[in-house]
Amino acid sequence: MTKNITKRTVSGVLAVLCAAGVMMAQPYVGGVAADTAVTVSADKIFGDYEYKVLDDGTAEITKYTGSDKVVEIPSEIGGYVLTSIGQRAFAFCTSLESVSIPDSVTTIGQKAFASCFLLSSVTIPESVTSIEKGAFTYCSSLTSVTIPDSIDSIKEDTFYNCTSLTSITISDSVTSIGSGAFTYCSSLKSVTIPDSMTSIGSHSFCDCTALTSVTIPGNVTKIGKYAFGMIYDETIEELVRLNGFKIYCYPGTSGEEYAIDNGFEYELIDGKKQNPTVTFEKGNGAVRLNWTEVEGAEKYAVVAFVSGSWTKVTEVVETSYVLKGLSPGKQYKVAVLAKIDGEWNKDISNAIIVTPNALTYPEANVEVQGNAFRLSWTAVPNAQKYVIGYTTNGKSWKPAKTVGAGTTLFTYKNAPKGTYYLVVGAYVNGKLDTTDLVNRVVRVVIK
């Protein structure tokens, strides 16, 4: 039945969905529009949290007022999906020792956890795509942190003066470290900088007195002043070189230049043994991997991280390969290895996260129980709202509901007997996406 929907039917769907969108754009009191209108509201209270509703219909914590030592932040606040921990929301929570952030959160705001002096443990989920400036500054009890693969930059002063921080795991998705990001992390003994890194800001690891060496990847093209190996000498009130600090770097790179300019001992890494630098281009259900040619390489292996281990996908002599059969919008971790003199270089530090094109429309699913059904759909990135249309005869379409971007469920109870056809449309940048509209219709039968 779904496949036989005509162009006339599609036009009817468009008319209903677009009409619903116009209705939402106008001031309206009562009915669907009144229930789902999205505005930025004044701060509200939910337990120990003060929050506000953002213009996409999700929530941001603006202040935590509790005094618990261990906090597990909920994924919903006041009935809204929590997506943001706002500026200074947990700042100066001096009793806080451990915090878990839900996987609904995408943003940790500026100085969100600043000066939580007893905070020793924090769990940052893969959903977080932005950690703003100074987010954990002066968290002097924080001992270790893992930056998730979803983060592409560590902002300025993010871990400034985290004096107990002994280790930091920087994911291979990170390309830049901001100035002062790890300044005064005096317990930091080692740091692994991934091959994805291209820029390291000034004072990034300044006054890290326990850090005696660093390996700088060949892809780094910019290193700011006093980034490594410098400490503050109070007697002369100046920054000076840390005695014994050593740099490992590749010949002719910014790492070697930084070592020479600042008078550090350094050791060159054999550039012929390194694996290629990998980039990718998004496609529909696929990505094209491209990589730099490695001198002396006989062939290359494309490997993927699957179910907790690395698996070889293919071997090629070319410097590109198309990975197919990927799920829309899903992240995949891949690397390319070079075979030189009959041996594979198994260093996977050049691994990157690749993602095929995300769906621009919701994928809907329906569950029926008695005379009620629940329609659910996948979230669309940057969606402003969703419009649900239905018909019982395949011709006359009607709007069922318009909901905010934070909602991906619609429940209808006490539905009359009959067959219903439903479709969900997403508004992105003010426009309704109608891609593959016919195949998006779902069928519901109420007996």
Domains of the chain (ranges, CATH numbers):
2-29+359-446 (2.60.40.10), 38-271 (3.80.10.10), 275-349 (2.60.40.10)
Nearest by Cα to 289 from 276, 272, 271, 308:
276
Tens of pLDDT along the chain (447 residues) come to 444 444 455 555 555 554 554 433 332 222 322 233 333 445 899 999 999 999 999 999 999 999 999 999 999 999 999 999 999 999 999 999 999 999 999 999 999 999 999 999 898 988 999 999 999 999 999 998 888 889 999 999 999 999 999 888 788 889 999 999 999 999 998 888 988 899 999 999 999 999 999 999 888 999 999 999 999 888 888 899 999 999 999 888 999 999 999 999 998 887 556 788 899 998 877 899 999 998 889 999 999 998 777 899 999 999 999 999 888 778 899 999 999 888 888 777 778 999 888 766 788 889 999 999 999 988 887 788 999 988 887 777 788 888 998 889 999 899 898 898 989 988 887 888 777 677 788 999 988
Cα–Cα distance list, 289 to 149, 248, 320, 431, 438 (Å): 18, 28, 5, 32, 33
Rounded Cα gap, residues 138 and 162, in angstroms: 5
Cα–Cα distance list, 74 to 46, 82, 85 (Å): 11, 8, 11
Tokens linked to 239: 């920054």
Tokens linked to 91: 């700042």
Tokens linked to 192: 């692994």
Rounded Cα gap, residues 108 and 7, in angstroms: 46
Instruction: Answer yes or no: are the C-beta atoms of 328 and 285 closer than 8 Å.
Output: yes
Query: How does strand 230-233 pair with strand 213-215?
Result: unpaired
Rounded Cα gap, residues 183 and 63, in angstroms: 27
pLDDT of residue 27: 29
Instruction: Answer yes or no: are the C-beta atoms of 108 and 133 closer than 8 Å.
Output: no
Q: How would DSSP label each residue in 413-436?
A: -SPPSEEEEEEEEEEETTEE--TT
Nearest by Cα to 178 from 139, 215, 226, 224:
224
List beta partners, residue 231. Answer: 240
Number of H helices and E strands in the chain, helices first, is 3, 38
Element (H, E) at 59: strand 59-64
The set of residues, in sequence order, having a beta carbon less than 8 Å from that of 49 and lying 6+ positions away, is 61, 63, 64, 65, 77
* Helix, strand, coil percent content, the chain, rounded in steps of 5: 10, 40, 50
DSSP classification of residue 314 = E
Rounded Cα gap, residues 328 and 357, in angstroms: 6
pLDDT of residue 395: 73
Q: How would DSSP label each residue in 215-238?
A: E--TT--EE-TT-SSEEEETTTTE
Model pTM?
Answer: 0.56
The set of residues, in sequence order, having a beta carbon less than 8 Å from that of 175 and lying 6+ positions away, is 152, 153, 196, 197, 198, 199
Instruction: Answer yes or no: are the C-beta atoms of 331 and 374 closer than 8 Å.
Output: no
pLDDT of residue 36: 32
Tokens linked to 436: 């593959």
